[in-house]
Amino acid sequence: MRPAAAIAGGALATALASSALAAPRVVSLDQCADQYALALSARASIAGLSRRALNADSYLAPMARGLPLRRATSESVLAARPEVVVRYWGGDDRLLADLARRGVRVVRLDDATGFDGVRANVRRVAAALGAGPAGEALIARMDRQLAANAGAWRGAGALYLTSGGATAGGGTLIDAMMRAAGLTNLAGGQGFHSVRLEALILAPPTLVVLGFFEASALAAQHWGLARHRALLTIAARRAIVSLPGALLGCPAWFAADGTTAITRARGEGPLPPLRGYFPQGGKRIETFSSPSGGVGPRSGGGGRGRGPISQVGRAI
């Protein structure tokens, strides 16, 4: 995959350039909204991003460097004189009321449960920012990935597992991501729910898709299931891919990158790069990038398994 800075080239950059002169001033209130503002606005039109825009789990963090960061408060946001505000969950009732009184357009991202919802989100924000062609370019990129990955795993069953011990059934974007790569979701039910560790140990799934197991996510969890040795053993032996929070925390076009990573875990192409580690058997494993974009274990604890766990990085 290309790095996030590649947004400066190709059809998307051309579409942005054509609408830059008429683009409204935009402020994004949370990390997910940041990704939309960065992808669909010219830099000169971005009056503020959230204070999490530079975090490790921000998909387009490199593009946020040098742009103003603002708190989601009335004082901070209104001082930026935005014409459009984009939000997923950020901002309280007071801020939203103040924006409404001043006639500022607020564009809300829906909690998409599938790729149709992602397309709707992209088109909604793109329309508000006068960036229709750029939005369609993002959707076209996503749709090309989905078409390329369709049916790759041929119905094999897999369980999604987060570092906090949760899984996800139907009606979730991760379910749509797995199904788009040809996996059958073994979680059952609807929505997110906790995994019973005892049941997981007694009957571990053949395949596991991990989420939020990167170093930055694990560092914040001192007592989570991710630190349980039995779960780590299952993850090390059964996991086919580890998806970072940057791909999972926002209903956006780059969810298709997760589907691509799941497909590539079958060995049908080079694995995308990611710096970090995955805890296997309680020991640290460094990952490295090959010239072709592959990733594998450099050193650290062994443990038998299906081979290196695929981890995915960012690209737009």
Predicted confidence at residue 220, as pLDDT, reads 56
Of 90, 132, 130, nearest in space to 109 by CA:
90
- Say if residue 267's pLDDT is above 50: yes
- Say if residue 124's pLDDT is above 80: yes
Strands 166-168 and 192-194, how do they pair?
antiparallel
Predicted confidence at residue 20, as pLDDT, reads 53
Return the structure tokens found at 93. Answer: 């009732």
Predicted confidence at residue 198, as pLDDT, reads 85
- Which pLDDT tens digit goes with each residue over 230-258? 777 888 889 999 999 999 999 999 999 99
In angstroms, the CA 35 to CA 153 distance is 29
- Say if residue 216's pLDDT is above 90: no
Average pLDDT over residues 222-227: 60
Average pLDDT over residues 103-110: 98
- Which pLDDT tens digit goes with each residue over 43-95? 999 999 999 999 999 999 999 999 999 999 999 999 999 999 999 999 999 99
The pTM (predicted TM-score) of the whole model is 0.80
Element containing residue 216 per DSSP (H, E): helix 215-219
Query: Alpha carbon of 11 to those of 63, 108, 122, 136, 176: distances in Å?
Result: 17, 26, 16, 10, 27
Predicted confidence at residue 117, as pLDDT, reads 98
- Say if residue 98's pLDDT is above 60: yes
Per-residue pLDDT band for 16 (boundaries 50, 70, 90) equals low
In angstroms, the CA 140 to CA 137 distance is 5
Predicted confidence at residue 228, as pLDDT, reads 74
Instruction: Tell me the pLDDT of the chain averaged across its residues.
Output: 81
Per-residue pLDDT band for 130 (boundaries 50, 70, 90) equals very high
- Which pLDDT tens digit goes with each residue over 153-201? 999 999 999 988 899 999 999 999 999 999 999 999 999 999 888 888 8
Predicted confidence at residue 21, as pLDDT, reads 56
The one-character DSSP state at 243 is E
Return the structure tokens found at 205. Answer: 């799934």
Q: Between 147 and 237, where is the model more confident?
A: 147
Average pLDDT over residues 212-218: 68
Phi-psi label, residue 111: left if phi above 0, alpha if psi -120 to 50, beta otherwise: beta
- Say if residue 277's pLDDT is above 90: no
**Domains in the chain and their CATH numbers?**
4-145 (3.40.50.1980), 153-311 (3.40.50)
Is-contact 176 256, C-beta < 8 A?
A: no
Predicted confidence at residue 297, as pLDDT, reads 27
Predicted confidence at residue 127, as pLDDT, reads 98
- Say if residue 213's pLDDT is above 50: yes
